[in-house]
Structure 1
Amino acid sequence: MQEQHALPYLRETLLFLALAGILIPLLQRWRVNQVLGFLAVGALLGPFGLGLWAHAVPWLGYLTVSRVEGVEALAELGVLFLMFMIGLELSAERLWALRRWVFGAGTAQVCLSAVIIGCLAYFFGNSLEAALVLGFVLSLSSTAVVMQLMAEQRSMNSPLGQAGFSILMMQDLAVVPLLILIGVLTSGQSEGLAALVTVTVAKSIGAIVLIYLIGRRVIRPLFRSFARQRQPDVFMALTLLSTLGIASLTASAGLSMALGAFLAGLLLAETEFKHEVEITIEPFRGLLMGLFFMSVGMAIDVREVIASPLWLPLSVIGLFTIKACVLAVLFRIGGFSWARAFEGGLLLGQGGEFAFIVVGYAMTTHLVAPPIGQFIMLVVSLSMFLTPLAARVGRAIGERWEQRHHEQAFGEAVLEAAGGRVIIAGFGRVGQMLAQLLSAQKIPYIAFENDARLVARLRAAGFPIYFGDAARAELLRKAHADLAPAIVLTMDHPASALNAVRGIRRELPHVQIFARSRDEKHARALKQAGATVVIPETLESSLQLSSFVLQTLGVSEGAAAHLVQRERERHIAELEGEAAP
């Protein structure tokens, strides 16, 4: 008698959990983007990968997924919790501050991209209705992929991250009118299209405001009443209830569940339970997001890729090119440099997960022919798969552009004066504080920074700062770095600091390099690369805190300073000893 499992899709769930337990540590060790890793594994183990040979090689059936439906159902939860975490990181005031990007740049991006892509679709033989739908579908980007990449790069709170997030929010709002548009086009009521869409958008906004206002009255008292019991399981249940409950309310109002999850996070962000909720939900969100990316990878049919060796890659490249150009222009108009504009354009240049929903609906209503719909889904899947690479290319193009158009040319007088100055690489908060202390002691310095806008602003204020990468050999020679009494690295990005130490030490083996590190692990890497002195941020903050605590407890200021200095010297000696060959 064949064994029956009470849980549906049990084998697929067990396979995913096993892969997650093995894959996530390996990706972190190999420094491979997790989005790319899960997409690749999904394509490999899906029904169009090794699953094609499962009937011929029976043991492959235990390592592959043949039924994508169950995986996709669980993956939808991943998208919900991603949107919930996004809302949790914001507040209503912060979202209102982004309204110019949400309703201005976001609307412009969707409309401009839809017009260009729709015209191309019509030119290649699609009906006017199908071209209109395809244009709007492909104008949307993947919130899940982009937000995961931003989280890994820790760029969500950067100006570009906030602008990109705002555009993604507008795209999510555009899904509802798009689904209505398909219904109108298939019913033949195109005469009242504008009025119907306007009324629906107004109803959608009203539903969002109503849910938000009711939620503000309910969420905080609900959490306060149960928080007194101090039971983690109750707290977890409340978090799930809030997320799924508000998501179901938005779904019943004709909006997306993802938007409801975002509203739930936004409501909890204004309460005192924000950080506890983040800790509670984070492990589940990571697993479910991994499942979502695997399900996208499973939708990639390798046979179709082989069958369309020309049109498929051209379509993916064309999609990225059109959207990246539109977005880059909008980012530039919004005040970003071309470097950041190109980076943001390629980061949001892919198709989005809503395409699978919208195109599927369009195929069931016979608005889009099944072969075209399948081809579009494949284009979207591949574009999501290539997004990490496209984002990296965007950063590289932007950096080359900045170096060609904005790098300051040193005059001979500046070159002569640069010799003998302290060189500061990275002019953020730490670099500017160091510069103030050097100026107070009449010690000359010169600074280099990769952010062209920051360079322009600070040069206008009179700071001796220039655009450039301190790791580049030609820049070091122009600045007479061999005559510098010290080179101080204060950049925020750990990889940039490590590359700078290696580049400087390769060109200047005897110069003193002082570096700031994120933590002790980063400090050891900098010491091994050749830094003379490395100060971990965690060390200094803990020592300063210890000094204040000791003085509060009655230890004299001099004794506390002596203890702190002795501990500092011990840690630095340990770092130097570990870095020694």
Structure 2
Amino acid sequence: MEHANTSFLPSLLLFLGAAVIAVPIFKRIGLGAILGYLIAGVAIGPSGFALFTDTGTIQHIGEIGIVLLLFVIGLELQLSRLLAMRKDIFGLGGLQLVVCALVIGGIAYSLGLSILGAAITGISLGLSATAIALQVLNERGELQAPYGQRSFAVLLFQDMSVVPILALIPLFSVEMAHASHEGNGLLNAAIMIGSIAVVVLAGRYLLNPLFRILASTEAGEVMTAAALLLVLGTALLMQWAGMSMALGAFLAGVLLAESQFRHELEADIEPFRGLLLGLFFMSVGMDINGRLVLDNWLALIALALGLALVKSVSVAAVFRLMGSSRLDALRSGILLSPAGEFAFVLIPLGAVYGFLNAEQAAFAKALAALTMLFGPLIAAGSERLLKRFAPPALTIEEDYSDAHGKALVIGFGRFGQVVSQVLRTAAIETTIIDKDVEMIDVASRFGSKVYFGDGARLDVLRAAGAADARVIAIAIDNRADAVKIVEMVKAEFPLTEVYARAYDRQHVLALLTAGVDYHMRETFESALAFGRSTLEALGVDNMEAEEIIDDVRDRDAKRIVAQQQGGIYAGIDLVNSKRLLKPEPLERPDTKGVTLNRDAINAAEEAKEDEETG
């Protein structure tokens, strides 16, 4: 046992040391962490100093990083978000992948690859590097720019498309064809469908109750263990059923996308995902055939630059066709030109199933790695050129260094402007953020300082001082984002009170489920004030009108409580209940009242006293 531990530790120290040295250097010179991992892998692998030669074992461990990456992607795919971005995700993203795969696959076929080999090469190199593109956008501060949002939609579609691609590749293999002829095809299909059904049913009915029980124990390490058990367990189930591990992890993520534990799970998985994904890229670098690169360096460099050019033009043409401006289309084309992370998954898989021979697979992987190496350099150089042709841009306040205050207001539309005016009139230190560039420009003309930022992003909330704010006021009109912000704030800043603008009654119920401290439907109080004025115009006195309005408000609050417990149709009897009136005689008296004189009153009082003493 001691010998085994001793032999394991040097390898672990070797990987950690290579990463610690290479990654900071590459990030410092602007080439990104991924390239640092790749070069570190090349340096310690068989093509470098040959400090480590068992690349297969490391690659299998590193593939868990891809599994965790797809789980996190699944967590981000809430139905509301998909619906809001459906045109760009499925329209623009689908067209981009089809065009790039056809163009690159056609070129590969003309160079002598088989049809299936050209197809897998076209798809693999047609995908883009999500990590590199998002890093560039974050460094530029343009993730919320129009081209940044559309590029993100394309990357999201590509990440989603990897799952069915991984599932379809075995169906075209010789082994699967033989299995089908032997009569096992239906059995295999049944096992696959049954496994997916098990994951879906478990995610629908078991996962939330399970995590609720675990959360009640207040043991953070148990939640982390449960998250890893969930991801790796579903991945192993899918692999046993004959599908990819990534498919299982992706399904688990999607099933938990609407869960109240989503942010906690993502935070638990993130450190493992980052480290294992880095290990995966190091294993890819170790697996690059150094002799092949040295023998064909000129052809590889020419092909890598040519691939970047072809892909940039293809992507730009698709973006232009789908309505982007010429400048945004060019930026997106250049940004998405490097091959993606999943090329290093799909190409080896194509070799396993016989679509590519060993030399072709090695050449394609080296080509993908070179495009990732050149991508950030091309993006940085081209941006300087493109800025010369760009129109003057609006200066947006993105430096949060002086953003501090007791209140943080998210959204500076009609609602947010009034809220901000109230807070500033009371001399409350207030920070305001909004992601609408035009609204920020208008605010600056009237002397209001509004920071640019998407309040639905945790890093933006942290930078804007959410951790120090006593109250966070959510004044945006996007219902899904408002609920998401409440969930994040309650998870990350539990001592901060959250006030939220609500759109309607169903939105109120969603906000209450998320843990909001105070909510206000955007038209409710104004409608009550309007109704009170209408009552007064109809002759109802001020005091009675106020009592009626209070009664309506009280019944509405009781109905909200009932709906929290019994659903949207609960408390329906409270909607049109009439206010109790002052008691009146049931029948009008037949005789007319007569006013008594003083003598009659005195006589009546004396008779009453005699009766009582009698």
TM-score (norm 2): 0.58
Cα distance in 1, alignment partners of residues 191 and 321 from structure 2: 31
Cα distance in 2, alignment partners of residues 122 and 188 from structure 1: 28
Cα distance in 1, alignment partners of residues 142 and 217 from structure 2: 37
Cα distance in 1, alignment partners of residues 395 and 134 from structure 2: 29
Matched, 1:328 2:316: yes
Cα distance in 2, alignment partners of residues 105 and 204 from structure 1: 30
Structure 2 counterpart of 1:376, which letter?
Answer: A
Q: Which residues of 2 match residues 189-204 of structure 1 at below 5 A?
A: none
Match of 1:232 among 200, 220, 223: 220
In the superposition, relative to structure 1, how do residues 137 and 205 fare at CA in structure 2: closer, same or farther (>3 Å)?
farther
In the superposition, relative to structure 1, how do residues 4 and 212 fare at CA in structure 2: closer, same or farther (>3 Å)?
same
In the superposition, relative to structure 1, how do residues 340 and 204 fare at CA in structure 2: closer, same or farther (>3 Å)?
farther
Cα deviation digits, residues 48-79 of structure 1 (max 9, x gap): 1222xxxxxxxxxxxx3222122212211111
SS in 2 for 1:344: helix
Cα distance in 2, alignment partners of residues 76 and 383 from structure 1: 21
In the superposition, relative to structure 1, how do residues 171 and 391 fare at CA in structure 2: closer, same or farther (>3 Å)?
farther
SS in 2 for 1:65: coil
Q: Cα distance, 1:182 vs. partner?
A: 4.1
Conserved 8 A contact 1:323-1:345: yes
Conserved 8 A contact 1:84-1:261: yes
Structure 2 counterpart of 1:16, which letter?
Answer: F
In the superposition, relative to structure 1, how do residues 367 and 134 fare at CA in structure 2: closer, same or farther (>3 Å)?
same
Cα deviation digits, residues 122-179 of structure 1 (max 9, x gap): 3223344433443333323345555666677777676232342223322443233234
Cα deviation digits, residues 367-400 of structure 1 (max 9, x gap): 4333222211211222233333344346445534
Cα distance in 1, alignment partners of residues 246 and 272 from structure 2: 16
Conserved 8 A contact 1:347-1:391: yes
SS in 2 for 1:105: helix
Match of 1:376 among 364, 376, 379: 364
Structure 2 counterpart of 1:425, which letter?
Answer: T
In the superposition, relative to structure 1, how do residues 49 and 189 fare at CA in structure 2: closer, same or farther (>3 Å)?
same
Q: Cα distance, 1:189 vs. partner?
A: 11
Cα distance in 2, alignment partners of residues 338 and 156 from structure 1: 18
In the superposition, relative to structure 1, how do residues 188 and 332 fare at CA in structure 2: closer, same or farther (>3 Å)?
farther
Match of 2:149 among 159, 163, 169: 159
SS in 2 for 1:50: coil
Cα deviation digits, residues 437-493 of structure 1 (max 9, x gap): 9xx9xxxxxxxxxxxx988x789xx9699xxxxxxxxxxxxxxxxxx9x99996669
Conserved 8 A contact 1:326-1:345: yes
Conserved 8 A contact 2:97-2:126: yes
Q: What is the aligned partner in structure 2 of residue 282 from structure 1?
A: 270
Cα distance in 1, alignment partners of residues 31 and 358 from structure 2: 35
Conserved 8 A contact 2:93-2:153: no
Match of 1:67 among 39, 49, 54: 54
Q: Cα distance, 1:187 vs. partner?
A: 6.9
Q: Which residues of 2 match residues 456-535 of structure 1 at below 5 A?
A: none
Q: Cα distance, 1:363 vs. partner?
A: 3.7
RMSD (Å) for aligned C-alpha atoms: 4.8
SS in 1 for 2:297: coil
Cα distance in 2, alignment partners of residues 319 and 201 from structure 1: 38
Q: Which residues of 2 match residues 62-461 of structure 1 at below 5 A?
A: 64-143=51-130, 145-146=132-133, 159-160=149-150, 161-183=152-174, 211-364=199-352, 366-393=354-381, 395-396=383-384, 398-403=386-391, 425-426=395-396
Conserved 8 A contact 1:328-1:342: yes
Q: Cα distance, 1:220 vs. partner?
A: 0.2
Conserved 8 A contact 2:171-2:177: no
Q: What is the aligned partner in structure 2 of residue 509 from structure 1?
A: none
In the superposition, relative to structure 1, how do residues 259 and 225 fare at CA in structure 2: closer, same or farther (>3 Å)?
same
Q: Cα distance, 1:85 vs. partner?
A: 2.3
Cα distance in 1, alignment partners of residues 225 and 62 from structure 2: 20
Conserved 8 A contact 1:27-1:34: yes
Q: Cα distance, 1:219 vs. partner?
A: 0.9
Cα distance in 2, alignment partners of residues 274 and 540 from structure 1: 20
Cα distance in 2, alignment partners of residues 285 and 489 from structure 1: 35
Structure 2 counterpart of 1:332, which letter?
Answer: R
Q: Cα distance, 1:92 vs. partner?
A: 2.9
Cα distance in 1, alignment partners of residues 195 and 207 from structure 2: 17
Structure 2 counterpart of 1:92, which letter?
Answer: L
Cα distance in 2, alignment partners of residues 393 and 201 from structure 1: 50
Q: Which residues of 2 match residues 50-65 of structure 1 at below 5 A?
A: 50-51=49-50, 64-65=51-52
Cα distance in 2, alignment partners of residues 255 and 128 from structure 1: 23
Conserved 8 A contact 1:141-1:348: yes
Q: What is the aligned partner in structure 2 of residue 538 from structure 1?
A: 465
Structure 2 counterpart of 1:106, which letter?
Answer: G
Conserved 8 A contact 2:167-2:244: yes
Cα distance in 2, alignment partners of residues 346 and 207 from structure 1: 40
Conserved 8 A contact 1:342-1:395: no
Cα distance in 2, alignment partners of residues 205 and 321 from structure 1: 41
Cα distance in 1, alignment partners of residues 466 and 101 from structure 2: 52
Cα deviation digits, residues 161-204 of structure 1 (max 9, x gap): 234222332244323323423448987999xxxxx9xxx99998
Structure 2 counterpart of 1:108, which letter?
Answer: L
In the superposition, relative to structure 1, how do residues 432 and 392 fare at CA in structure 2: closer, same or farther (>3 Å)?
farther
Q: Cα distance, 1:427 vs. partner?
A: 7.6
SS in 1 for 2:206: helix
TM-score (norm 1): 0.61
Q: Cα distance, 1:290 vs. partner?
A: 1.8
Cα deviation digits, residues 56-113 of structure 1 (max 9, x gap): xxxxxxxx32221222122111112222222333423323444434443333233222
Q: Cα distance, 1:34 vs. partner?
A: 1.8
Cα distance in 2, alignment partners of residues 370 and 307 from structure 1: 16
Cα distance in 2, alignment partners of residues 228 and 454 from structure 1: 40
Structure 1 counterpart of 2:165, which letter?
Answer: A
Cα distance in 1, alignment partners of residues 90 and 305 from structure 2: 27
Structure 1 counterpart of 2:4, which letter?
Answer: H
Conserved 8 A contact 1:425-1:487: no
In the superposition, relative to structure 1, how do residues 102 and 8 fare at CA in structure 2: closer, same or farther (>3 Å)?
farther
Q: What is the aligned partner in structure 2 of residue 12 from structure 1?
A: 11
Cα distance in 2, alignment partners of residues 464 and 156 from structure 1: 22
Structure 2 counterpart of 1:75, which letter?
Answer: G
Q: Which runs of 5+ in 2 are unaligned?
A: 399-409, 422-434, 455-459, 473-496, 498-614
Conserved 8 A contact 2:69-2:273: yes
SS in 1 for 2:303: helix
Q: What is the aligned partner in structure 2 of residue 33 from structure 1?
A: 32
Cα distance in 2, alignment partners of residues 313 and 353 from structure 1: 19
In the superposition, relative to structure 1, how do residues 163 and 487 fare at CA in structure 2: closer, same or farther (>3 Å)?
same
SS in 2 for 1:538: coil
In the superposition, relative to structure 1, how do residues 426 and 101 fare at CA in structure 2: closer, same or farther (>3 Å)?
closer
